[in-house]
Amino acid sequence: MTRASSASAKSTQKSPGMKKKKLQGKKRGRPTSKKSGADIWAFNWFVRPKIWRNGREDYFYIHKYEDGLICRSLKEVERFEKDGTRPGRKAKRNSQKK
């Protein structure tokens, strides 16, 4: 074994007690908002959990006073409460094949 190969072999070996360090401080992604207004308007909504066959759990937020208003995320709820923006669904696109 040459010195170069033995040095690379030593550097790739890990001692059994070493663990990966977790990132501390600033994390990747968008910065989190300081405080949401969820506690102010939470009494206006029912939360309906939906458990799928694969075990995944989704929550639907149903407004108590607006008929037919269902949001699929807390962001949609927050948008409705702050701006009055109703949640919309994207329209289906008709793809025409030639």
pLDDT higher than 80, residue 97: no
**Average pLDDT of 4-25?**
57
User: What's the whole-model pTM score?
Assistant: 0.52
pLDDT, position 37 = 56
3-class DSSP assignment, residue 75: helix
The burial class, CB within 10 Å (0-12 / 13-18 / 19+), for 60 is middle
| Per-residue pLDDT tens digits for 17-67 | 656 665 566 667 666 655 555 567 778 899 999 999 999 999 999 999 988
CA distance 42 to 37: 8
Q: For the chain, what are the domain ranges?
A: 37-89
Task: Name residues whose C-beta falls within 8 Å of residue 40's C-beta, 6 or more positions apart in sequence.
Answer: 81
For residues 64 and 96, the model is more confident at 64
Q: What is the pLDDT of residue 90?
A: 65
pLDDT band of residue 11 (cuts 50, 70, 90) is low
Tell which wins on pLDDT, 17 or 78. 78
What CA–CA distance (Å, rounded) separates 72 from 79? 12
> What's the pLDDT score for residue 81?
87
